Amino acid sequence: MSKVAVITGGGQGIGRAAAIRYAEAGYAVSICDIDKEAGQEVIREIRNKGGQALFLRADTGVPAELEHWLRLTRSDLGSIDVLINNAGIGRSAPFLELKLEDWDRVLAVNLRGAFAASQYAARIMRDQGTGGAIINIASTRALMSEAGTEAYSASKGGILALTHAMAISLGPFGIRVNAVSPGWIETGDWQLSSRSVTPYHSEQDRLQHPVGRVGVPDDIAKACLYLSGPDAGFITGQNLVIDGGMTVKMIYE
Report the interface residues with ligand NAD, using CB under 6 A: 8-9, 11-15, 32-35, 38, 59-61, 86-89, 109, 137, 139, 182, 184-185, 187
> Which residue's CB is nearer to ligand NAD, number 31 or number 122?
31
* Helix count and strand count (H, E) for the chain: 8, 7
CB of 188 to ligand NAD, least distance (A): 8
Q: In the complex with ligand NAD, which residue's Cβ is closer, 105 or 126?
A: 105
Angle, CA of 227, 232 and 238, to the nearest 5°: 65
> Which residue lies nearer to ligand NAD by CB, 165 or 197?
197
Instruction: State the burial class of residue 238 (Cβ atoms within 10 Å of its Cβ: 0-12, 13-18, 19+).
Output: middle
> Is residue 32 a contact partner of residue 58, using CB atoms and an 8 Å limit?
yes
CB of 1 to ligand NAD, least distance (A): 27
152 catalytic? Reply is: yes
Task: Pick the closer one to ligand NAD by CB: 65 or 127.
Answer: 65
Q: Which is nearer to ligand NAD, 2 or 191 (CB)?
A: 191
Closest by Cα among 175, 177, 158 to 240: 177
Please pick, among 120, 152, 200, 252, the residue that the annotation labels catalytic.
152
DSSP string, 110-133: IIIHHHHHHHHHHHHHHHHTS-EE
Minimum CB distance to ligand NAD, residue 36 (Å): 9
Are 15 and 84 within 8 A, CB to CB? Answer: yes
Cα–Cα dist 76/113, whole Å: 22
Q: State the nearest-atom distance from the C-beta of 213 to ligand NAD, in Å.
A: 13
The least CB distance from residue 51 to ligand NAD, in Å, is 19
Helices (H), the chain: 13-24, 36-48, 63-77, 100-106, 113-128, 150-170, 203-207, 217-228
State in angstroms the smallest separation of the CB of 175 from ligand NAD. Answer: 21
Note whether 84 and 18 are within 8 A (CB): yes
Query: Measured between alpha carbons, how far apart are the two ends of the chain, in Å?
Result: 56
- Residue 128 or 208: the one with the smaller Cβ distance to ligand NAD is 208
Please give the positions annotated as active site: 152
